[in-house]
Structure 1
């Protein structure tokens, strides 16, 4: 009997111990699960280096909208300073040990940072990226950048001003040669308005306008690339190149009819959309990214479009009926300093842009960007985005030079500024351009 009582006491004691251990295990599991849930909802701050100053306010609003749907993620927009290239800014941030989580860079900058950023090849949006939009940022089979925007540029025209100039409805197809452009400038001037404004920023003159001298060499991109190779090797005589000279013939017209002719280097970017939107000038050399600024001054009821920049008096020559366009800006994700949580939050923001209704609205309607993703069916609402899209659909595109060296626009933009101000002549400009390329490694 005593033995049975002792056994029963031991059994009860064992049962109590098992219950205690089970309770402890359950509590530990609960605490572990709670901790895990807490870590997934911890607050994360990420940053984006923005090299498109004209959409800074739109990006800041997008950051707020994204935060509203993802309360644990705070996104701060860090603008690139005036006069500084995206490459220089990103390099400086890395040198200081504090790179942004995301960097919006030019296409040609991506390869220089590929060892410091994430491989994005497996991201879900890759399957929806339009054809060839990631080719320029893919190295050894890995894509390192998110194609943020397709942009195009040329002569933006104010339809109302040009209608008045031609005494009817202006037809953009009526200007396909340098001589026809000259005639149009004369007609605008005859109304008492200025034909156009030339914005003297080095990035506009060096990357965009001068870029046409390269991209306009041939519709075959392989021949354009060979032209650049020959420039580096000193095997091109720009002074006798037909496209280069034709482009400068057009630029000489622009200098003649420039509203700021008396002080050509005094202009600012902000002045361009104001005088065009108010109808003080008929034409501005710029891109579709300028619509948010133009719209704030618009008195033409949104009637604007693009004219190509002619390079000859033969309408059949390549470039005379084409608009320069390409994927221009890319977003890269840092892997050196950002935490796994920050990286995932940044990826979530990119997905939000591509697949979320508000993200798509930001891209197309608010920032007036032509998306590089086939799943986004929103049509550009701004007239400039619509105009570029029409050129794309018609196959009238000259691929923009988006892989130029990082210092091209600043160094050769300065050369173009000297030519604009008549500090150097055409031969001097050609000489400076060839000297630059001979030093490019």
Structure 2
């Protein structure tokens, strides 16, 4: 009897051990399976202003989609995103989601672009917003947002100087206001209220995307009707070249480096925005609504007291600002099918889900490129300003997305630096820029 119980106990022990071992094996298989099903999406993006907020949006998405892991790498601001993207692909570490500009970028990257025509957001696109990313009726990228830029200014400084911004509607009135403000700064009349204020402008010539793309677009955006026309143009005439010169000279001559303009070539985005406008060291900077978050990060009170003046090219449409799509999201067609599916789902979630839309408007401070954001109007003053210009029809198109690859930043931007340093005359700048356009096209 006793021996039988011992045998039974032994059998039970062995059985339980086998069951436990089997359970562990099953658990291990389950964990391996779950890990195997985990999809990883690598994103390589350029918008430094939303880097932190995009990471937060990713965490929100991953919480709803636990089988997806999204890695974000941001390269932009003072760095050349286009060059960095090429290097990324050449390294063999191809991103699954990356950014492309307009027609020229679409052409350059066509062999890597997934056709996104069947995505839910396509039918929600605002009229004309997909033109720069459409080829032969197929849509290859999702627009980031709608942005506008011009002369972002501190309303408080203008009020203290007795300048009415509503009267600045053309180049002449802008120049008069700048001269009046400069006199107030030089006389010390604003010193008590704005002790750090030293100049009207800060012009970051180191940032060739500011000069070679954005400043130039104020003129070329009136020579070409859209980025497609610029893309198809064999030549550039600089019809409004004199007006462009005046706009550049105005910013340089009334900057903190007016007596040594070559020093402007060392001024970067941070010096202009966070160490310039945000601390009220300067009153105006050439930037767009995307700069709100950077200024807010330094001084929210200053950020909420900003607005945008026109960016007038004399002899052209002078009471307007350039408005357009800054960049697009693209999906790498050579990524694995399950990765592409997750990449598309994330982008769709970001622009169509309630959570995603909240990030787009209230965290990224984007003006949406799609319908369906009716109850999410821009809350920041610069977003409101761009919307105001758009509603009033006071806009010119962004055509720099149609410039020959590298021409805006590497040719024109560098030529502007040479002009500021006294190495080029304006005529030499125009001559070189024209010749290089034809050669690169």
TM-score (structure 1 length as normaliser): 0.83
Per-residue Cα deviation, 1:363-387 (whole angstroms, up to 9, x for no partner): 1111111110011221112111110
Structure 1: where are the runs of 5+ without partners?
1-30
Matches within 5 A, 1:127-146: 127-146=123-142
Cα distance in structure 2, aligned partners of 1:179 and 1:228: 33
Contact 2:292 2:303 in 1 (8 A): no
Establish whether residue 421 from structure 1 lines up as the match of residue 421 from structure 2: yes
DSSP-derived class of the 2:129 partner = coil
| Aligned residue among 50, 53, 76 for 1:55 | 50
Instruction: Give the number of equivalent residue pairs.
Output: 390
DSSP-derived class of the 1:415 partner = helix
| Aligned residue among 192, 199, 202 for 2:204 | 199
Establish whether residue 120 from structure 1 lines up as the match of residue 116 from structure 2: yes
| Aligned residue among 230, 255, 260 for 2:257 | 260
Cα distance in structure 2, aligned partners of 1:333 and 1:227: 23
> Measured at CA, do residues 65 and 246 of structure 1 come closer, stay the same or move farther in structure 2, by a change above 3 Å?
same
Contact 1:149 1:370 in 2 (8 A): yes
Q: Which residue of 2 aligns with 1:16?
A: none
Residue 68 of structure 1: how far off its partner (Å): 1.8
Greater mean alpha carbon deviation, residues 83-92 or residues 401-410: 83-92
Q: Which residue of 2 aligns with 1:430?
A: 430
Structure 2: where are the runs of 5+ without partners?
1-25, 186-196
DSSP-derived class of the 1:77 partner = strand
Per-residue Cα deviation, 1:41-94 (whole angstroms, up to 9, x for no partner): 921111111111222122122222221221221111112266553332332222
Greater mean alpha carbon deviation, residues 86-95 or residues 357-366: 86-95
Cα distance in structure 1, aligned partners of 2:347 and 2:153: 33
Cα distance in structure 1, aligned partners of 2:418 and 2:180: 29
Contact 1:364 1:379 in 2 (8 A): yes
Contact 1:86 1:105 in 2 (8 A): no
Cα distance in structure 2, aligned partners of 1:396 and 1:113: 33
Establish whether residue 99 from structure 1 lines up as the match of residue 94 from structure 2: yes
Establish whether residue 333 from structure 1 lines up as the match of residue 328 from structure 2: no
Q: Which residue of 1 aligns with 2:4?
A: none
Q: Which residue of 1 aligns with 2:6?
A: none
Per-residue Cα deviation, 1:116-174 (whole angstroms, up to 9, x for no partner): 2210001011110111111221112211101112111111011111111126xx33x31
Contact 2:161 2:181 in 1 (8 A): yes
Per-residue Cα deviation, 1:308-356 (whole angstroms, up to 9, x for no partner): 21122xxxx54311110111210110121x2111111111111111122
> Measured at CA, do residues 221 and 273 of structure 1 come closer, stay the same or move farther in structure 2, by a change above 3 Å?
closer
Matches within 5 A, 1:4-15: none
Contact 1:153 1:286 in 2 (8 A): yes
Greater mean alpha carbon deviation, residues 262-271 or residues 80-89: 80-89
TM-score (structure 2 length as normaliser): 0.83
Establish whether residue 356 from structure 1 lines up as the match of residue 386 from structure 2: no
Residue 212 of structure 1: how far off its partner (Å): 2.0
DSSP-derived class of the 1:130 partner = coil
| Aligned residue among 174, 177, 182 for 1:181 | 174
DSSP-derived class of the 1:115 partner = helix
Contact 2:150 2:288 in 1 (8 A): yes
Matches within 5 A, 1:335-414: 335-336=333-334, 338-377=335-374, 378-401=376-399, 402-408=401-407, 409-414=409-414
Q: Which residue of 2 aligns with 1:6?
A: none
Greater mean alpha carbon deviation, residues 370-379 or residues 273-282: 273-282
Cα distance in structure 1, aligned partners of 2:285 and 2:143: 27
Q: Which residue of 2 aligns with 1:19?
A: none
Contact 1:85 1:406 in 2 (8 A): no
Give the aligned CA root-mean-square deviation in angstroms. 2.4
Contact 1:214 1:227 in 2 (8 A): no
